[in-house]
Amino acid sequence: MVTRSVFRWAGPAVGAAVLAAVTWRLGSGPFLDGVRALDGGALVAAAALFLLTTVCFAWRWQTVADGLGVRLSLAEAVAAYYRCLFLNLTLPGGVAGDVHRGVRHGRDVRDLGHALRAVVWERTAGQFVQVLLTVSVLFVMPSPLHSAMPFVALALAAAAAVILLVVRARTGRGHSRWERLRNAAVADIHRGLLNRRALPKVAFASTVAVLGHVLTFLIAARAVGVAAPVTRLLPLAFISIMAMALPNIGGWGPREGVTAWAFSAAGLGAGLGAATAVAYGILVLAASLPGGLVLLLERLPRRRESAPEALLGPWHRQRPQAGKAS
C-alpha cells in the first residue's frame, strides 16, 4: 500500500519540482507571456487540430478494440477520448482518463480485461509511432540532440529486434505466470495491431495525431513571437512533445523544462521556450473542454441516451452501434 502511494504521487511530485525549478530559474515572465500571447485565432486553430487528433486517437482505439473483440462505435470512441484527454489534462499523473475509459468500456461490454488491454495497446502503439517520428526528424534535421541520434537509433533497432523475436516466437501452453502473460501479450499484438487491417490504420492515425500536436506547438510558438523558420522549430516541437511522456502534472512540468532547455540550446532563448510550452499547454487544455461537457452529460440522472448520442443527435440514433449489448 505504501509503495503504491509512493508511485502514485511520484509523477506529480517530479512534475511540480521541474515546474518550480523553471519558475525559479526564469521567473514568472515567460509564463505570463505564454498566457497573454494567445488570441481567438490561435484558440480556434488549436481546437480544430485537437478535434482531428482526437478522432485519430479514437479511430486507433476502435481498431485495436475491434481486434480484441471488444467493439465500440466511432462516435462512442470520440466522446470517450475527449473525456479521457480532459481528465488527463486536469488530474495529476496524466493517465487517469485512460484508466477511466478502459474501465467504462469494459463494464459496457462486460469484458474488463480485454477493454483495459485495448487501451494499453493503442496507447503503446501511439507512443511507438511518436518515438519513430521523433527520432527520424531529429536524425535528419539539426537540433540540440542531433549528435546523439545515431546511438538512439541503434538502441531502438536493438529493442525492435528483441520485440520482434518475442512476438514471432511460438506460443506454447505455458503454466507459469510469465508464460501466460507473454502468450496473452503476443496474442493481443497479433489480433489488435499486426493484422493486415489494423496495422495501416493504427500507423496512419498515430502519425496524423502526432503531426497535429506538432502543428499546435508551432501555432503556440508563433503566438508568443518566435520568428525562427519552421525547419528550425520542427525538431524542437518533437522534443517538447516527447517530454510530456515524462512524469508530469496534467502535461505540465517536464514539457516546460525541456522546451526551455531546447530553445536555449538552439539559440532562441530559454524564456521563449518556456512561454511557448505554456501557450501550448493552454491551447490544448482549452481545446479539451468538450471532454468536460461529455463528463457532465454522463453525470446527469437517468438519461435515456448516452452522452455520444446526446451530442450527435438523431443522425447517430439512426445508425446501428456495433458492440452494444441488446
Instruction: Give per-residue pLDDT as tens, 101-147.
Output: 999 999 999 999 999 999 999 999 999 999 999 999 999 998 888 88
Report if residue 323 sits inside a domain.
Answer: no
pLDDT at res. 175:
67
Report if residue 87 sits inside a domain.
Answer: yes
The number of distinct structural domains making up the chain is 1
CA distances from 73 to 58, 184, 321 (A): 9, 25, 6
CB 30 within 8 Å of CB 271: yes
Residue 312, all three cell numbers: 450527435
Show the domain range for 228: 12-300
CA distances from 76 to 73, 115, 312 (A): 5, 14, 10
User: For the whole model, what pTM was predicted?
Assistant: 0.85
Mean pLDDT, rounded, of the chain: 86
Mean pLDDT of 221-232: 94
CB 50 within 8 Å of CB 284: yes
Q: Which residue has the cell 502519425?
A: 207
Residue 317 has pLDDT above 60, yes or no: no
Residue 91 has pLDDT above 80, yes or no: yes
Report if residue 319 sits inside a domain.
Answer: no
pLDDT class of 17 with cuts at 50, 70, 90: confident
Residue type for position 35: V
Report if residue 3 sits inside a domain.
Answer: no
State whether residue 287 is helix, strand or coil.
helix
User: Where would I find the H helices in 141-197?
Assistant: 149-168, 177-192
More confident residue, 166 or 128: 128
CB 278 within 8 Å of CB 30: yes
Report if residue 324 sits inside a domain.
Answer: no
CA distances from 318 to 239, 253, 312, 314, 315 (A): 44, 45, 11, 6, 6
Residue 162 has pLDDT above 90, yes or no: no
Instruction: Give per-residue pLDDT as tens, 259-278.
Output: 999 999 999 999 999 999 99
